[in-house]
Amino acid sequence: MIAQKPTPPREIAEMSLRLGQRIRSARAARAMTMKQLAAESDISLPYLSRVEKGDGNISLAVLYRIAAALNLPADHLLADDERYGSDYALIAELLKPQSAAQLRDIRQWLVGHLADRHSNDAATRRIALIGLRGAGKSTLGPLIASRLDIPFVELNAEIEKEAGLSLTEIFSIYGQAGFRRLERRCLDRVIGTYPEVVMATGGGIVVEPGTYELLLHSFFSVWLHADPDEHFRRVMAQHDVRIATPQLQKEAMSNIVDALKARQKLYALAHASIDTTHKPIGELAQRAVSLIRESLLTDFPALSAA
């Protein structure tokens, strides 16, 4: 047998650092604090801190628990996929359920049509509003739906109805993974129930590749966004008791910045985007409806007055 050369310590250190960065990025994208991830993965907070810094000497068992708490396959945290961008994970989700024969057909199609641009299905009359908390989804959604004369639903409200629990209780009892399973189930039901709808989503829906791919395929998606200060101002206006103290408010602002940074490339995959910073709600609703009508070329009714 040929003796294997030991892995140089430098390469191990670099791998550990990349792994820690992926865990930290996945946690930020899900708006989870380090304390929440430590509790849901049943490891100590100091140890998780070392892992995220790249010096935790993580075992496979601990890696599996962290991945499960993030509702990710463990190999997703090990795979060096960042260089491919956000689309890579979504394409992988599309390919996973295909048979060997179908994959051959897909490969042949890609070879012949790689330069073709993907076009959204112009017949769709489902609109999904995505973005961070405080982007304006719940405020703008009903106005857009009213002007288009179609129903409005909030996916988080559907999740609460499905579970018979508040979002806080769902996360407390079932964790991130349980919430994401409920989210996918409720998204499937919205698609099956509403041929036309405006749906406001939770901010973290984009971090689940399978769920997000389904949303992009089944809805015309609009990313509502604002600058971090505006997001924070709107969240503060909701008088959330979870950010009632200055220290909690500081953490909330930091979480907004981290989540936006971690999710920005995923949000940017939406079919359209609207900056809602410092703009009147009526103006934003008119802009959104005009954009939707122009993009989808469907027979939505004429715009009503602001």
Instruction: Please give the annotated binding residues for substrate, written as ranges.
Output: 180, 203, 263
Neighbours of 160 (CB within 10 A): 18
Give the bridge partners for 125, in sequence order: 196
**Tokens of residue 92, six digits:** 């992988």
Asked if 163 contacts 182 with a C-beta cutoff of 8 angstroms, the reply is: yes
Nearest CA to 193 among 220, 158, 160, 148?
A: 158
**Tokens of residue 21, six digits:** 């960065």
Residues sharing a CB contact under 8 Å with residue 181, sequence separation 6 or more, in sequence order: 71
**Tokens of residue 120, six digits:** 């959204």
Binding residues: 134-139, 180, 203, 242, 263
Whole-angstrom distance, CA of residue 39 vs CA of residue 44: 8
Whole-angstrom distance, CA of residue 32 vs CA of residue 221: 24
CA distances from 64 to 108, 151, 205 (A): 36, 41, 22
Binding residues for ATP: 134-139, 242
**Tokens of residue 196, six digits:** 């036309």
Neighbours of 227 (CB within 10 A): 13
Binding residues for Mg(2+): 138
CA distances from 283 to 78, 203, 224 (A): 45, 23, 14
